[in-house]
Amino acid sequence: MARLRDVAAQDVLPLAQRVMRRARQGVDDARLRVLGGDFEERVRFLRARYRDRGGDPFGLDPEAAKYAVMVCAFFHRLYFRTEVHGIENVPAGRVLVVANHSGQLPIDAAIIGTSLFLDAQPPRVTRAMVEKWTQTLPFVSTFYNRVGQVVGVPENCLRLLEMDELILAFPEGSRGVCKPFSQRYQLEEFGSGFMRLALQSGAPIVPVAVIGAEEQYVNLGNLRWAARALGMPAFPVIPQLAIPGGQLPLPTKYRLYFGEPLRFAANPEDDDASLERKVWVVRQTVQAMINQGLTEREGVFF
Amino acid sequence: MAGEGGSTLPGGVPSGQRRGRSGPQFGPDFLLPSTVLVSGITGAVGRRLTRALHRHCRVLGVDHRAFPERPKDVEHREVDIRRKRAREVFRGADVRAVVHLGVLHDSHDRSSDLHARNLLGFQQLLDCVRQYRVPKVVLVSSANVYGPRSDNPQFLTEEAPLLGAAASEHARDLVSLDMVAQSFFWKHADTETVILRPAHVLGTVENAPSNYLRLAVVPTLLGFDPMVQVVHQDDVVRAILLSLRPGVRGIFNLAGPPPAALSRVLRILERKTLPVPHTLARLGAERLWRWRMSAVPAPDLDFIRYVCMVDDARARRVLGYQPDFDLVETLRAVDAERWI
C-alpha cells in the first residue's frame, strides 16, 4: 500500500502534471495560431467602441461575437487556410462590402466576417442582412442578433451605414449560394438595392472576390420540382452529403481579394435603369477580380 | 394660438435636470393653453399630467370613474364621454386643448361593446372639438399600433403601416382610434391634431408591460430575446406638455432610453425568469386566457418574441422631446410605490 502511494507521488503525479502542462501549452499555441496574439486586444477595442455608443441598438453583443469568431477562426485559419489580400483597402467608417456568394451554405460570409475581425486594422464587425424568417426560429434569431446580423430590410441597412458600420452584401442573393458546380465563378445577375443604399448613405463600395468557396460542396444541379414541393429556394443535389463526414465542406483553400473602394455619386431616387450601369461596374469589377484570382491560384486545395 | 389667459412659467428648467423623484413637478416654459380638458384623467398618466398642469392652467377632467383625490382647482365630471352630459363640459368653458388618454382596455371584454365605447367616445370628443373650435387635440396612442413582427425594421418610423391589428384583435381599438385621429388631422386643418405613439410605458401604470415586469417569476420565450424599448410615464407626460405648444401638429413616436435586450431588462430588475418553449407558451396562453386565468391574450406573446421599436427622431427634432429617465430608473419605476 505504502509502495503504491510512493509510486503515485513520485512518478504518476509529476507525469500527470507534465502532461497537463504540455496540453495547456499546446492549447495556448493553437489559440495563438488560430486567433493571433492580439485577439484580446481586438475584442477590447470593439467592446469599447460599442460601449461608447451606449450599446448597439440592434442587439450586437461583443462577448457573443467573440465566441462566434473563435469558432469561425478555426475554419478561417486551419481548415480553409484563408489567404487574405488587400484587406487594407477597407476604409474606416461606413462601408458596403460586396462579394460573390457561393458554396450552398453561407460559409463565405462567416469567413469574410472572421477575416475582418482578425485581420483588418482596426478590427471591424461585419453586419450582414439575414432572411426575415430566421427571426421566427428560437435560438437562431437570438444568435444572429447577438453576433450583429440584422433582418434584411433596407431601413436597417441604411441605419447601420449611418452608424458608420460595415455592411456585407451579396447582390446575387440566394441564386448565388445555390449555383451548380458547372457555373462556378460565373456571377449571377446583381440586384440593385445595394447601390441605392450606397448612394443614399454615401458609403464607398469595397468589391470582394471569394475564391475557394465555390468548390466546397459539389452541387450537380438544382431540382426545381423538389424545391417547389418543399418550399425551399433551391434543392441542390450534393452527392458528398451521402458519405460519412461529407457533410463538412471540402477543405478547399480560401482566397479573399479585397479591391479598392469604389465611390459613386448620383441621386439615389434615380430609376433602376440609371442605377443598372453602376451596378454593372461593380459586377464587372468583382468578376475581373475573380478571374484574376483564378489564374493566380495553382490548386483548389493548396 | 394659445389661450389669452394662459400663464407663462418663468425660468423653464432645461430638460435633463429635472430629476424630481416626487412626481412630475415640472412645467413647460411656453404659454400653456388657458383651459385643458383631459379625458381619462383618473389613469396614472392622467393624474400625473394633472399635477403638472393644474397650477399653470385650468384643468377639466372627464372620466367614467370618480377622481376623489384630485387637486382642488380641478373640475371633474364623472361621466361617460359618449353621453350628452359630457358635451356640457365644453359649454362656456372655452376649452383650448383636449388630451385624450381614455383608451379602455379589457382583453376579456371581446364584445363589440368595448370597441364601440372606445370609438364612439372618441368620435364624440372630436365632434365637440370641432363644434367648439378647440385649437388643439392630443391623442396618446401607442407604438403597439405597428405590431411586433418578424419582418419589422429595427426602428419603425411614423410612416410605417399600422399592422398591430393584423395578428391581435385586441390592438384593433388602438389602431382604429389612431386612424380616426389621423383622418381628423387631415379634415380639420384649423385644429392642431397630435398623435403620440409611446413605446412600452412603465411606471405605476397598470398596463401590460408594467404588470409583466412586476411578476415575481417572469416567463420568457425559450431562445427569443428581442430588443425592447421602454419609456417612463413622466417622460410621456412631458411629451404631452410639449405637444401642447402652439404650432405643433402631427404624429410622433416616443421612445425612452436606448433599447436593451429583454434579458438585460430582466437582469437589471433582478427577476427570476422561466423560459418556456414558444409552442407551449402559445398553447398555455390560449388556454389560460380562455379560462380567464390570465389577462394576456396569446398573440401578445409576440411582444416578447419580435421587435416592435420606434424611431423617435421626429419627436426629438420637432417637439424637443428627450427622455429624462435612464434605463435603470425607467425600469425601477414599475416597483415604485403607487402613491400618486
Position B338 scores a pLDDT of: 54
Q: Which pLDDT score is estimated for B111?
A: 56
Is A23 touching B (CB cutoff 8 A)?
Answer: no
What was the pLDDT predicted at A24? 85
pLDDT 10s digits, B276-314: 999 999 999 989 888 888 778 888 899 999 999 999 999
At residue A36 the predicted structure's pLDDT band, cuts being 50, 70 and 90, is confident
pLDDT value of position B19: 44
Q: Which CATH number fits domain B35-201+231-256+308-323: 3.30.70.1230, 1.20.950.20, 3.40.50.10490, 3.40.50.720?
A: 3.40.50.720
Residue B196 has pLDDT above 70, yes or no: yes
How would residue B248 be classed by pLDDT, with cut points 50, 70 and 90? very high
- CB-CB: which of B151, B224, B225 is closest to A132? B151
For testing contact with chain B, the best of A153, A155, A165 (most B CBs within 10 A): A155
Residue range A165-193, pLDDT digits in tens: 999 999 998 888 888 999 999 999 998 88
CATH at residue A288: 3.40.1130
Domain borders along chain B are: 35-201+231-256+308-323
Q: Is A243 contained in some domain?
A: yes
In this prediction, residue A131 carries a pLDDT of 84
Burial class of residue A191 in the structure, from the number of CB atoms within 10 Å of its CB (0-12 exposed, 13-18 middle, 19+ buried): middle
Instruction: Please report the pLDDT score of residue B107 as a whole number.
Output: 58
Highest mean pLDDT among A134-138, A222-226, A280-284, B6-10: A280-284
- What's the average model confidence in pLDDT over A20-25? 87
Boundaries of domain holding A154: 54-296
**A28: in domain:** no
Q: What is the mean pLDDT of residues A130-154?
A: 90
Between residues A3 and B326, the one the model is more confident about: B326
A284: which residues sit within 8 A by CB, 6+ positions away?
Answer: none
Percentage above 70 pLDDT, chain B: 88
Convert the pLDDT of each residue in B272-283 to its tens digit: 999 999 999 999
Mean pLDDT (whole number) for A120-143 = 90
How large is the average pLDDT for residues B32-38? 92
Residue A121 scores a pLDDT above 60:
yes
What average pLDDT does this structure show over A202-226? 92
Task: Tell if the CB–CB gap between A138 and B261 is shorter than 8 Å.
Answer: no
Q: How do residues B79-95 score in pLDDT, each as one tens digit? A: 888 888 888 889 888 99
Q: How far off is chain A from B259, nearest CA to CA, in Å?
A: 6
Q: How far apart are CA A195 and CA A192, in angstroms?
A: 5
Please check whether residue B254 is in contact with residue B322, taking contact to mean a CB–CB distance below 8 angstroms.
no
pLDDT score, position A230: 84
* pLDDT interval class at B15 (50, 70, 90): very low
User: What confidence score (pLDDT) does residue B108 get?
Assistant: 63
Based on the structure, what is the number of domains in chain A?
A: 1
Q: What is the per-residue pLDDT for B262?
A: 96
A18 to chain B, minimum CA–CA distance in Å?
A: 42
Question: Per-residue pLDDT for B236 more than 50?
Answer: yes
Q: What is the pLDDT of residue B302?
A: 93
Who wins on pLDDT, A136 or B22? A136
**What pLDDT, on the 0 to 100 scale, is given for residue B26?**
53
The residue in chain A having the minimum alpha-carbon distance to the alpha carbon of residue B302 is A136
Q: What confidence tens digit (pLDDT) does each residue in B103-118 have? A: 777 656 655 677 888 8
Label residue B30 by pLDDT band (50, 70, 90).
low
Cβ within 8 Å, pair B278-A138: yes
* Minimal-distance CA residue of chain B relative to A140: B223
In this predicted structure, the answer to whether residue B340 has a pLDDT above a threshold of 50 is no
Q: Give yes or no for a cis peptide into A122 (omega within 30° of 0).
A: yes
